[in-house]
Amino acid sequence: MKRFANLKRLGFFTRLLDEAPPAERYRFAAEQIVRAEKAGLDSAWIAQHHFHEREGGLPSPFTFLGYVAAQTSRIRLGTGIVTLPLENAVRVAEDAAVLDLICNGRFELGVGTGGNPSAFAAFGLDSTQRNEIFARNLEIVRAALTGKPLDGGDTLYPQRPQLDGRIWQATFSVAGGARAGKAGDGLLLSRTQPRTKEAPAATLAEIQNPIIDAYLAALPKGAEPRIMASRSVFVADDHVEAMRLADIGLRRALPQFMKGGHLPPGETLEEMITAFDTHVGAADAVVASLRADATLERITDLVFQAHSVDAPHPYILRSIELVAEKVAPALGWTRTAPDVALAG
């Protein structure tokens, strides 16, 4: 029975895509993170998206995580991700430092280059320059957090040098994996990635293992790897009910999926589940599905999200419980005692 020996931490991820008005989306997401803490999960992550409510419902991650921090005490809170090219780097460092202080060192800063090209235009930026802007902004964030003088001579207040060791970089590419490794940062791997026309049947592991290889090869000697994989996971008590909800959610998500560069899936639910890299069903079926994902043999952190099934809120709450109770322990995760926070 395969268990992932390197798996240290389990997290919940939300893109805040509940079928609800924005205020309810935020309330539901907070309730889901509170439930994740009660279930013993180690971390909770939220995504930042500007403008496009079908891609993600949250443009202001620091504000939201401050709200969640007041309702939790142990679970680590992370951004997956802050779209760094669209942000003022000094403000990111300031917000991250304040948030980390008010949540007692529980914050994890995930950053990436992402973002819709039209969002870059709205911010007066050229999306083709995202990598250069990202690199420049990340350098400023590091300098600010660690107390180095910024342009003009000022230094950040409050300084939070500890956060320099809790930066994660998201990437779809081998070059991005090498960049994260060279910096000694954590590596964030996506729940799915588009397949090429040359390899339409490639597994997610075949795409992501070369990214991990590049990350590990570039990691400074003695640095501890931090490799997080996000995965689409939805678990229900009844397998048939889980598949019914998956059919609704995946078909609803299909237009956005295609806009993201993915190849057309087949018409059947099974073909869509495969195309979306989704692990869905009763607990035993999800355990078997995740065990077939060879990437997970190499990660330190597994973070699961209900997207693209995006079942109604009560089902997501129950899925969080079932992952913690039945799925993750079968994969090698051990629940942390409620009064023990992860080392920061």
Q: Give mean pLDDT, residues 49-71.
A: 93
State the pLDDT at residue 338.
Answer: 58
List, for residues 13-37, the tens digit of each pLDDT value: 999 999 899 999 999 999 999 999 9
The radius of gyration computed from the CA coordinates of the chain, to the nearest angstrom, equals 19
State the pLDDT at residue 112.
Answer: 97
pLDDT exceeding 70 applies to what percent of the chain?
Answer: 97
The residue among 324, 336, 337, 330 whose CA lies nearest residue 12 is 324
List, for residues 281-323, the tens digit of each pLDDT value: 999 999 999 999 999 999 999 999 999 999 999 999 999 999 9
Cβ–Cβ under 8 Å, residues 344 and 101: no
State the pLDDT at residue 281.
Answer: 98
Give the separation between CA 312 and CA 234, rounded to whole angstroms.
Answer: 11
Helices (H) and strands (E) in the chain, counts: 12, 10
Give the separation between CA 3 and CA 17, rounded to whole angstroms.
Answer: 31
CA distances from 213 to 56, 187, 226, 229 (A): 30, 11, 13, 14
pLDDT confidence band for 259 (50 / 70 / 90): confident
pLDDT confidence band for 343 (50 / 70 / 90): very low
pLDDT confidence band for 240 (50 / 70 / 90): very high
Residue 95 exposure: Cα atoms within 13 Å on the Cβ side: 18
Give the separation between CA 72 and CA 74, rounded to whole angstroms.
Answer: 6
Give the separation between CA 16 and CA 19, rounded to whole angstroms.
Answer: 9
State the pLDDT at residue 344.
Answer: 42
Q: Considering the entire predicted model, what is its pTM?
A: 0.95
State the pLDDT at residue 247.
Answer: 97
Cβ–Cβ under 8 Å, residues 52 and 116: yes
List, for residues 137-187, the tens digit of each pLDDT value: 999 999 999 999 999 999 999 999 999 999 999 999 999 999 999 999 999
- Mean residue pLDDT across the chain: 94
pLDDT exceeding 90 applies to what percent of the chain?
Answer: 86
Please work out, in degrees rounded to the nearest 5, the angle formed at the alpha carbon of residue 299 by the alpha carbons of 58 and 284: 85
pLDDT confidence band for 56 (50 / 70 / 90): confident
The residue among 212, 229, 232, 214 whose CA lies nearest residue 301 is 229
Q: 110: which residues sit within 8 A by CB, 6+ positions away? A: 45, 78, 79, 80, 81, 82, 167, 168, 169, 170, 186, 188
Give the separation between CA 20 and CA 329, rounded to whole angstroms.
Answer: 32
State the pLDDT at residue 117.
Answer: 87
pLDDT at residue 191 greater than cutoff 50: yes
State the pLDDT at residue 255.
Answer: 85
State the pLDDT at residue 1.
Answer: 67
State the pLDDT at residue 337.
Answer: 52
Q: Give mean pLDDT, residues 125-136.
A: 96
Residue 181, helix vs strand vs coil:
helix
Give the distance, in angstroms, between the CA of residue 239 and the centroid of all CA atoms in the same chain: 26
pLDDT at residue 341 greater than cutoff 70: no
pLDDT confidence band for 264 (50 / 70 / 90): confident
